[in-house]
Chains A and B, each alone.
Chain A
Amino acid sequence: KAGVTQTPRYLIKTRGQQVTLSCSPISGHRSVSWYQQTPGQGLQFLFEYFSETQRNKGNFPGRFSGRQFSNSRSEMNVSTLELGDSALYLCASRWAGGSYEQYFGPGTRLTVT
C-alpha cells in the first residue's frame, strides 16, 4: 500500500504571496491532519479533516486554511506569506475507524524569502 504523499516537496515563495500544498493520504484513510515543524517550535498541529469537515484547529492565524475533498485528499493554503512561515509542513493520515496511528508524509519544505 502506498504511503502518504505530499506535493511539492520543496517550494520557495516571496513574502506576501500565497501557497497551496497538497496531501494524498494512504488508501482507505479518511482523516488527514496537518502540522508545521520549525526548529524553534517543533511540531505544531494546524488542523484535522475528516469526511471533508474540519474537526479540529490549532492555534494559527486565519491565513492558514485547508480543505478536504471527497476522495480524502487534502490541501492547505497559506495566504500573505511571512518570513516566519518558512517550515516543513507535514500531513498525516489515519484510518479514523477507532485507530490511533497517524502516518506521516515526507513533508513540503517551504522557504519564504
Chain B
Amino acid sequence: TQLLEQSPQFLSIQEGENLTVYCNSSSVFSSLQWYRQEPGEGPVLLVTVVTGGEVKKLKRLTFQFGDARKDSSLHITAAQTGDTGLYLCAGEETDSWGKLQFGAGTQVVVTP
C-alpha cells in the first residue's frame, strides 16, 4: 500500500488543455516534492513545498501544499507536448533522514 495516493493514474489530454494531479496521504509531511520522470531516466525535481497552504508557480505549473501538510496538487495550464511524462509526488516525514515516500505516479500524455 502506497503511503501517498496519486490520482489519476493516467491522464491523456490535448495540447492547450488544463490538468490537475492530486497527491493525498493520511500522514503529515515536513516537505513534499514533485518530480517528472522520462522512461529510463531518473526523476527530475520540479518543486519542493514545505509550508502548509503554500502555493508555488513554475511557469505554467502551479503546486499547492495542503494546510495540514498531508496533500498536494499539481495544476498545469495550457499543456504542451513537452509536458508528457510520469509525474511523481514524494513526501518526507519529520526525522526520516532522507527517506522519501513516493506515490505511484501519474502518467500524463499530451497530444498535439
Interface on A for B, CB 8 Å cutoff?
Answer: 4, 6, 31, 33, 35, 42-45, 48, 50, 55-56, 58, 88, 90, 92, 94, 96, 100-107, 109
Contact = CB atoms under 8 A, between A and B. Distances in A.
B45 interface: yes
Top 5 A-B residue pairs of the complex, sorted by shortest distance between their CB atoms: A48-B98, A104-B42, A100-B31, A56-B97, A43-B102
A50 to B, nearest CB: 7
Nearest to B102: A43
Nearest to A107: B42
Interface residues of B, number: 26
A103 B90 CA distance: 12
A103 B47 CA distance: 11
B99 interface: yes
A56 B96 CA distance: 7
Interface in B55-112: 88, 90, 92, 96-105
Interface in B22-40: 30-31, 33, 35, 40
A77 B106 CA distance: 30
Contacts of A56: 96-99
A74 to B, nearest CB: 12
A6 B40 CA distance: 13
Given A106-B41, A107-B41, 17 more contacts: A6-B42, A33-B99, A42-B102, A43-B90, A43-B100, A55-B98, A90-B42, A100-B31, A100-B33, A100-B48, A100-B50, A100-B92, A101-B45, A102-B33, A102-B45, A104-B35, A104-B43
A109 to B, nearest CB: 7
A42 B105 contact: yes
B42 A94 contact: no
Contacts of B96: 56
Given A42-B2, A42-B104, A42-B105, A102 B42 contact: no
A105 B31 CA distance: 21
Given A56-B97, A100-B33, A88 B40 contact: yes
Contacts of A42: 2, 102-105
